[in-house]
Each structure stands twice: as C-alpha cells, then as structure tokens.
C-alpha cells in the first residue's frame, strides 16, 4: 500500500539542521503516526512521502517555505519583566506556549534578558531553517472513519483515548 490521501502512515524519522546536527526524532519505541493529507506534517515532508510504501527510506531537505516559514522580525518584541508572574525564574532559551486569540498555541522563546527588559521571539523555533529529514516508512494503512472524524491517529504512535 502506498501513502496517499487519508492513509495512516507510521514513520521513523530523524530531523537535523543543514550542518547535520540532530534537532528531533521519533521516539525509539514508537514511530510517529499521522493521517496523510491533513496538514499534520509540514508540506515539504508530506509531498515527499506521497507514494512511499512500508520499508521505504527517504532523505529529504525541506526549505523554509515548505517547512516552518521564514523568520519574521516583527515577531520579536521586548517586554518588561513584570509582565511575567512574580517568582517565575526567567532564562534565555526558555520556551513556553502563548495562546493567541483564535490562532492556536504559539511557541515563545526568550532570546535575551537585559535588566528588566525581556526579549521574546514568537517565530517558530525552526522558522528560517532548511530541515533535513531521514525517514523510514514503517507501516501504511487505511484510516478508520473515527480517525478521520477526530483528525488524528488512534493506537500506536497516535492518541490513546
Ligand atoms: Zn481521537
């Protein structure tokens, strides 16, 4: 069976940056499961996985435009430290989720702290990067009606509920 619209695919992957430094990977005991064609993965990766079968291995370099987009410097802003709850220890490199109205969670990274001024970057941490994926397809199957309704995979590599 080949990966196509609304198939469930289980993949093992290693993500590294252009210099080959590992950034992320699927867990050792469980591949990542996703429903193809539902924007679960970045575009550049889904495009390359289309038509692959179990056992196939691919090497993909995804440019920012098909990954997490280009960096937008207007998403970098400086706020005063008292915007944060008292007692919270702030450090450069800290990441947290901010909930924007309507737009889902954003990852915010603290990129500088000077005195009581804290610089926040709301760009996706992988924005502006060419992403190198080493992917092996573990399994391809049809999605169940329930999975399509929920928009996510059930069972191994997916949701357990
Ligand atoms: Zn569900």
Residue-level pLDDT at 99: 67
Residue-level pLDDT at 84: 86
Per-residue pLDDT for the chain (161 aa), expressed as one digit of tens each?
999 999 999 999 999 998 999 999 998 889 999 999 999 999 999 999 999 999 999 999 999 999 999 999 999 999 999 988 888 889 999 998 876 665 556 789 999 999 999 999 999 989 999 999 999 999 999 999 999 999 999 998 888 88
The rounded Å distance from CA 147 to ligand 1 centre is 6
Residue-level pLDDT at 105: 60
The rounded Å distance from CA 30 to ligand 1 centre is 18
Residue-level pLDDT at 37: 96
User: Whole-angstrom Cα distance, residue 29 to residue 35?
Assistant: 20
Per-residue tokens: 103: 């737009």
120-123 — which CB contacts under 8 Å span 24+ positions? 120/76, 120/77, 120/78, 120/79, 121/75, 121/76, 122/75, 122/76, 122/77, 122/98, 123/71, 123/72, 123/75, 123/76
Residue-level pLDDT at 104: 56
User: Whole-angstrom Cα distance, residue 12 to residue 55?
Assistant: 10
The rounded Å distance from CA 149 to ligand 1 centre is 8
What global pTM score does this model have?
0.81
The rounded Å distance from CA 72 to ligand 1 centre is 34
14-22 — which CB contacts under 8 Å span 24+ positions? 14/133, 14/134, 15/131, 15/132, 15/133, 16/131, 16/132, 16/134, 17/129, 17/130, 17/131, 17/132, 18/61, 18/129, 18/130, 18/132, 20/132
């Amino acid at each position: 069976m080949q990966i196509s619209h609304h198939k469930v695919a289980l993949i093992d992957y290693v993500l590294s940056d252009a210099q080959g430094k590992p950034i992320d990977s699927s867990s050792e005991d469980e591949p990542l499961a996703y429903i193809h064609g539902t924007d679960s993965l970045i575009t550049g990766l889904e495009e390359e996985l289309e038509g692959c079968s179990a056992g196939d291995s691919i090497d993909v370099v995804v440019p920012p435009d098909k990954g997490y987009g280009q960096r937008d410097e207007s998403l970098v802003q400086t706020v005063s430290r008292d915007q944060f709850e008292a007692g919270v220890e702030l450090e450069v490199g800290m990441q947290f989720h901010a909930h924007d109205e309507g737009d889902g969670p954003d990852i915010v990274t603290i990129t500088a702290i000077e005195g009581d001024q804290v610089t926040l970057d709301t760009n996706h941490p992988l924005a502006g990067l060419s992403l190198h994926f080493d992917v092996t397809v573990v399994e391809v199957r049809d999605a169940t009606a329930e999975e399509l309704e929920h928009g996510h995979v059930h069972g191994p590599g997916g949701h357990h509920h």
